[in-house]
Structure 1
């Protein structure tokens, strides 16, 4: 991450509750669905926009927050590629207006992480590998499903004409090569 794109001090990264709210950039947070319904947490973190990337969770609407719903299932065959640009653009537009976005799915592990990685690639000029490394350092529980990884790899190639993560075969099926050590040393 370049200093121009996002400057975060260690105090700014909120990892106290890795299952709750995690700050990724100065204007982007990832969480589970429970946080999206917690008015106090939203207010304390100055959240102005919520992006709900799930089909299972209904929005709890608060008057001072804008909402976007991306109805996608957390399944390897779910097609999310066409949402990468519009969601990244939306997060960026909120940031330009000095707002803050909360991106959530059910657990804050797969769908919201995939959209976060796409945003970091597009607007912070990070490779997919770097975006994953950064996001995982802020929210250790992220783990997009294999279908989302394949689509993120295609998106990285579209943006940069190169790939930094590859899908490989493993005893548990097709996985990104960054998980290779985890699978083979289980």
Structure 2
């Protein structure tokens, strides 16, 4: 893909917002389905589906990444015990859906977990409360880090499959990651 690799302009929040809202004529939509397969073997979804071990079994999920670990209504209270009977691997990340939350410190850990889950034909369910912001951000970061996609292409790919709307703080963190990876030559070293 890498359609924008040669573009020296830095990524902007407005540019990413336009990718998110372009399919709906400028409107930001929340997900219309509980979960969607946004890339081969990677589902992005909401917390209620993630809490259903039977749903995870039905989808043949081998790994669950909770991007909203916590106990209040803005988080999803699951842990490795939740999925033990189904032999599903679990990673929980405590993150809030606020613009000042530093989700970027978890980008590499999340990307490694997703990559590990996909090896050998596994499937990964990445979720937060609504499956729109935290989880989508981590999957975009995975595509950038492991699949060498620039942020615009990664976000566009996910947006084609699911209504997502990462908050502006997360979009800025993805732009920052894009610039770091671009400077290191990551996108040209497939």
Is TM (by shorter chain) over 0.5? yes
Aligned to 1:41: 55
Aligned to 1:67: 90
Taking the aligned partners of 2:78 and 2:175, their CA distance within structure 1 comes to 30
Q: Structure 1, residues 39-70: CA drift from partner, whole Å, max 9, x if none?
A: 33211211011111113211161222111100
Taking the aligned partners of 1:18 and 1:122, their CA distance within structure 2 comes to 28
Which aligned runs of 4 or more in structure 1 are off by greater than 4 angstroms?
none
Aligned to 2:156: 133
Taking the aligned partners of 1:40 and 1:73, their CA distance within structure 2 comes to 27
Taking the aligned partners of 2:182 and 2:60, their CA distance within structure 1 comes to 33
Aligned to 2:42: 28
Taking the aligned partners of 1:83 and 1:39, their CA distance within structure 2 comes to 25
Greater alpha carbon shift after TM alignment, 129-138 vs 59-68: 59-68
How far the C-alpha of 1:159 sits from its partner, in A, is 1.4
- Relative contact order higher in (CA < 8 Å, ≥ 6 apart): 2
Taking the aligned partners of 2:62 and 2:32, their CA distance within structure 1 comes to 21
User: Tell me, what secondary structure is at the counterpart of 2:40?
Assistant: coil
Q: Structure 2: give runs of 5+ residues left out of the alignment.
A: 3-30, 185-190
Taking the aligned partners of 1:46 and 1:161, their CA distance within structure 2 comes to 38
What is the number of residues matched between the two proteins?
A: 147
Q: Which one has the bigger helix percentage? A: 2
RMSD value over aligned CA atoms? 1.8
Q: Structure 1: give runs of 5+ residues left out of the alignment.
A: 3-16, 163-186
Aligned to 2:116: 93
Aligned to 1:105: 128
